[in-house]
Amino acid sequence: MHILVTNDDGVQAPGLLALATAMRRVGRVTILAPDRNWSASGHVKTMHRPLRVRRETLADGSDAQTCDGAPSDCVAVALLGLVADVDLVVSGINPFANLGHDVTYSGTVTAAMEAVIHGLPGVAVSLDGSRLQQDYEPAANVAVNVVQSLIRHRLSPGTLLSVNVPGLPAREIRGVRITRQGQRLYRDELIQRDDPRGRPYYWIGGERPTGVPAEGTDFGALADGYVSVTPLQLDLTAYKQGQDMANWGWT
């Protein structure tokens, strides 16, 4: 089992090191991750500039490669030929949860989406952490369990898993729930200020988002102290809406 490990926080982020270290218990690990923070960069394909890849040494002395593209670019560069014989892509560990509508913003999740585009299973791992609580060990162990299950049972083609782990000590995590995407409540605010030349500029600010902890959702699982595992697919078609629209009297 050859596992490509990436993230969206940059190659030197502690969550990547924790994930890569844990994945070595499952198989051979190759690391190719962005050279800087691409959080909330979405599903990117860099087409209008070259991508550079260089060697990097992680905090534990292990070898990695880093690229000046987005997380999804890193996966594409690897799977289009830079890294041979990859079986699985695992992305993370993001320091904050990726829930509900976050998934198309998230560089962590879109890296796993890119794996699916190349015909491989992808797993995104995020910790529902706080700025004070950033212990990646429990989430890294959860990631090993999820990946071992995936290898044993196989994912359907076109599917990726978004794993969100409560920011709790391991003994307080109550188990795993298979979930659907819940309702994110963004609290973004448009901040307008003037630059030194008197021209307005805009910044998307505001409070950290919340969400609706409904039964069966990713938010609900975390609120109850469970790991949330959401199977995702890139087919965003609204099938029910399509059936309704067939009766709209198109000519």
Rule CB under 5 A: which residues touch Mn ion? 8-9, 39, 94
For the CB of residue 181, give the shortest distance to Mn ion in the complex, in Å: 18
Crossing angle of helices 14-23 and 137-153, in 10° steps, is 40
Closest to Mn ion by CB, 72 or 94: 94
- Beta bridge partners of residue 217, listed in sequence order: 180
- Residue 96 Cβ vs Mn ion, minimum distance, rounded to whole Å: 7
Which amino acid is located at 199 in the chain? R
Nearest residue (CB) to Mn ion, 68 versus 224: 68
Minimum distance between the CB of residue 24 and Mn ion, rounded to whole angstroms? 22
Q: How far is the CB of 70 from Mn ion (least distance, A)?
A: 12
Of 6 and 65, the one with the shorter C-beta distance to Mn ion is 6
Smallest separation, CB 159 to Mn ion (Å): 22
Whether the bond into 117 is cis, omega within 30 of 0: no
Measured distance CA(157)–CA(155) in Å, rounded: 6
Which segments within the chain are labelled E, that is strand? 2-6, 28-34, 53-57, 63-67, 88-94, 122-128, 159-166, 176-178, 184-194, 200-211, 227-233
CA distance 43 to 49: 17
